[in-house]
């Protein structure tokens, strides 16, 4: 199994180590003031060459930008897979080394089929638990996740079925990886926020990196969004702590994968600021 260590390996709600903490003393909650970003590490050139030799001399950032317009073809390829043969979850002990998945004809003649399946288990538990199955394209992983080992080769794609190598992967939060799996293809900041907690649709709809950055620098906007989140959570410290847990699980998986996307990191920072602000507002009302 590819064991990817999170950094830190566990996130207790105690804010220790080198992190600054802020305290909502009423509930006895302490959280890190910021979610630290690991040092940037570019993806492996060997990993890219292994899946796309023709891109050997192309800068990684250029490859990533070039993948964005092709995402709809890749997602079309995933949607062509027979759901009866491609379960979303599976008992860990029953995960095969290769999955044979029939494919349906696509309305798009340019559908690009996935090359592998990631069987994602939680690094926080062991035993015979369920794992989550995610079809992926090797170049999507190789070009964006610097901490993952090089994927093994996949066989040639026949016309009626795919034979996909299954890669066991251990991450802090399989549920958070579901969000990241979508982002690796569609790069939708709106979808990331909607997966974390409720915000006004006028803010999240078509959310851009520019809006994320400008909101981070506006104390009044941050306060408005924190107030909205606190209100929509009924002022419940328990509910807001749950939202904070979702954000930190996303953070842990991003670090573990070596995902250094600036737009996503700024969005994570914004989500954390809004959540901490909502917690402080709720704590002051208790």
pLDDT of res. 85: 80
The pTM for the full model equals 0.87
Question: Whole-number mean pLDDT of the chain?
Answer: 86
Residues 272-284 pLDDT 10s: 999 999 999 999 9
Measured in whole angstroms, how far is the alpha carbon of residue 242 from the centre of its chain?
18
Report pLDDT digits (tens) over 101-144: 888 776 556 789 999 999 999 988 666 688 999 999 999 999 99
Of 127, 72, 119, nearest in space to 98 by CA: 119
Confidence check: pLDDT of 262 > 50 = yes
pLDDT at 10: 33
Q: What is the CA radius of gyration of the chain?
A: 20
- Token readout for 14 is 């105690």
Q: Calculate mean pLDDT across residues 170-199.
A: 96
CA atoms within 13 Å, Cβ hemisphere of 71 = 17
DSSP symbols for the chain: -EEPPPSSS---TT--TT--EEEETTTTEEEESS-PPPPP-PPPHHHHHHH-GGGTTS-HHHHHHHHGGGHHHHHHHHHTB-TTTS-SEEEGGG--SEEEEEB---S-TT-----EEEEEEETT--SS-EEEEEEE-HHHHHHHBTTSPPPPP-PPP-SSEEEEEEEEEEES-HHHHHHHHHHHHH--HHHHHHHH----HHHHTT--HHHHHHHHT-HHHHHHHHHHHHHHTTT-HHHHHHHHHHHHHHHHHHHHHTB--HHHHHHHHHHHHHHHHHHHHHHHT-
Q: How far apart are CA 23 and CA 31, in angstroms?
A: 7
Q: pLDDT tens, 5-54?
A: 333 333 332 332 333 334 343 345 578 999 999 999 999 999 999 999 99
Q: Where are the domains of the chain?
A: 44-171, 186-286
CA 254 to chain centre: 6
Q: Would you call the peptide bond into 54 cis, given omega within 30 degrees of 0 as the criterion?
A: no
Which backbone phi and psi does 148 adopt, to 5 degrees? -90, 145
- The per-residue pLDDT for 110 is 79
| Residue 219 vs residue 104, higher pLDDT | 219
Q: To the nearest whole percent, how much of the chain has pLDDT over 70?
A: 85
Average pLDDT over residues 68-97: 89
CB-CB contact of 156 with 204 (8 Å):
no
């Amino acid at each position: 199994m590819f064991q990817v260590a999170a950094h830190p390996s566990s996130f207790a709600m105690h804010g220790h180590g080198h992190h600054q903490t802020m305290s909502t003393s009423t509930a006895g909650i302490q959280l890190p003031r910021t979610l630290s970003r690991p040092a940037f590490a570019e993806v492996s050139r060997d990993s890219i060459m292994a899946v796309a030799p023709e891109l050997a001399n192309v800068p990684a950032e250029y490859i990533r930008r070039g993948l964005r317009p092709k995402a709809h073809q890749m997602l079309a390829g995933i949607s062509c897979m027979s759901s009866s043969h491609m379960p979303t979850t599976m008992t860990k002990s029953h995960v095969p080394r290769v999955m044979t998945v029939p494919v349906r004809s696509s309305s798009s003649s340019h559908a690009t089929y996935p090359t592998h399946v990631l069987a994602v288990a939680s690094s926080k538990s062991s035993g015979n638990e369920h794992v989550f199955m995610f079809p992926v394209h090797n170049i999507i992983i190789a070009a964006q996740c610097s901490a993952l080992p090089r994927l093994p080769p996949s066989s040639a794609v026949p016309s009626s079925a795919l034979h996909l190598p299954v890669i066991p992967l251990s991450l802090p939060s399989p549920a958070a990886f579901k969000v990241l799996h979508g982002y690796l293809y569609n790069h939708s900041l709106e979808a990331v926020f909607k997966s974390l907690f409720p915000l006004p649709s006028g803010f999240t709809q078509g959310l851009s990196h520019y809006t994320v950055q400008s909101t981070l620098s506006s104390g009044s906007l941050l306060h408005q969004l924190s107030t909205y989140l606190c209100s929509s959570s009924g002022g419940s410290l328990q509910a807001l702590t749950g939202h904070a847990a979702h954000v930190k699980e996303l953070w842990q998986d991003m670090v573990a994968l070596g995902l250094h996307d600036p737009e996503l990191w700024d969005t994570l920072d914004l989500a954390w600021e809004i959540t901490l602000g909502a917690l402080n507002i709720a704590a002051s009302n208790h």
